[in-house]
Structure 1
Amino acid sequence: MPGYNPCPEQESIYNLIPRYQAPTPKQALYRSKHKGKVDPKHYEMGVKKVQPAATFGHPYGMNSTSPDQFLKSHAQEPLLPEPHKPSTEKMRLKAPVPLKTEVPAMGLHSNKNFVTTNAIQAILSKPKQMPEDFRWTLKPEFGEVPQYLIKNKKQIAEEKASVEEHIRLRQQQDHDAHVTQMSEGERQQLLHDLKTKWATVNTAYQKLPFSLDTPAKMKRKETFEKQLTEIEKDVQLLEHGSTVLVLQD
C-alpha cells in the first residue's frame, strides 16, 4: 500500500510520500423558493395597507423609459418671438432704383448753345470775394509776453522760494540742535592750553638750525610755522569775544 508507515510516530522515509486526499463533495446551488419578480402590492409586510412604491419601489418594468420620451433636437433652445415689422423705417440714403415699368425719355434734342450761355453767365456773374490777409503784427498784444507764461513763471518762482525757505528752516533747526555755548571757564581753560601749545611749538621752532640744507629740515620748519599761525588765529578768535559756540559732530 503506498504511503504505508508501520510506525507513524517515529521518523520514517515513508513520511515523504504524499498521502491520498479524497475530494470534498460540492454542495448544490442554493435557490430560493420565492420568485424573484414580485409585485410589492401583493405583500403588506406587517402594515395594514401598502401604498404603491412605499417599500420596494416601483413595480418591475415601471422604471424603464417610454420609447416616445427622448430628448429631441432643439428642444431646450429658447423660444424667440415671431418677427414683426419695425415701427421706425430705416431712412434711405440713396434714391430708389427705377422700376422696370418706368421708361426714360429718349430722343429729346435741344437747340441751346451751351458755349454762349456759359460765356454770358461768366460775364454777368460777380467775382468771388476773397478774404483779406490778416496781419498778425497789427494785433494789440503783438510782441508781448503771453499771460499764461507770466502766470507760470510766477508760480515757479513762488514754489522755488517756498522750497528754499523750507530747506533753510530745516538747516537752521539742525544747526541749532547741534550747537552749544561754551562756558566762561572752558573758554579760559582752552585759551590757556592754546598759549601753552604755542609756547611749546615756538620753543621747538627756535631750536631749528640756521642752515636748512636737507628737505626734512625745510619741511619741519614749514610745519612749525603752519602750527604757530593756526594757534595764533585760534587765540585771537577766543580773545575777541566772550561767547563761543561749539558745533557738535
Structure 2
Amino acid sequence: MSKQLFPQESVYDYLVPEEADEVKKPPRYVSKFRPAVVLENKLSKDSKRTMGPAKIGAPAPDKYLKKHSKEPKLPEKTECTKNICGACTCTERKPPVPARTDNPLVRIHTERDFEKATVAVPMKPTPTSVDVSTGHKQLLENSGLVPKYIFKKDFGQIPEYLQQRRKEEQRAQEECERLMEEQREQVALQHLSDKKRQELVEELKKKWDEVHGVYQKLPFIIDTLTMKTRKTELEEELSELQKDIQHFERFKIIYTAKD
C-alpha cells in the first residue's frame, strides 16, 4: 500500500543539473557589396604600399662606392681656357685691336637712300599729359583735354528720347490748359444788366408783399406749436427777401454764374 502512494526517490535526481536552453543569435549582417568595396580599396590605395624599401636591382660589383666620388667636380679644361699664369693655350688668335686711324666699316649708302632720308617726315612724339608732380603721365587723348567730342556729327543736338519726352510734356500741358479753360467757362460769371437787376428787384418786392400779406393774416393769439412754427418761417423768409432787395439796390454792378 505504501509503495503505491510514495514512489521510490533517489539522491541523484537532485544532483544532475538541468540543461539550459541555448539562445541562438541571428547571423551578422554582411553587405553584398563588401567584396567589391574591398577590391576597389586595394586597387586604389594598396597598389603602391610595400613593406620596407622598394625592391630594386642589386648594383654591379665593379660599381662600388669610391673615395671622393660624391664631391662636386669642376668642368674639364679645354684648349681655350687659361691657366693660372694667364697664358693662353689656344692655337687660334683673335683679330688685333683696330688702330685709331682706321675707319669703321659701315653700310654703303646709295643715292636712293639719301633721297628717302631727305624726303622722310620726322616722327613726332606721342602727345602725353602729366597730371601729378611725381611724373605720372597718360595719353593726351584719354585725359579729356582734347576736344574730340565737339567734332561729332550729332554734337550739340538734343537726343531723340528727350525730344519725344518734351513733345509728350507739351501735349499734356496743352490738354491740362484745355480742361482748365473748360472749367473756367463753366463757372464763369456774367455781368447783370441794369434792366435785369430792376426786374429782379421788382420780383423780390412782389414776393415780399405776398409773404407779408400771409403774415398779416395770421391770428392775433398764437397758442399752438404749428402756428408758432409757421410764424417763425414767415419771419425768416421776410428777412431774407429784405436782405436780397437791399443787396440789389445797393450794388449797381452784379455778376452771376452762367446757367
TM-score between both structures, scaled by the size of structure 2: 0.30
TM-score between both structures, scaled by the size of structure 1: 0.31
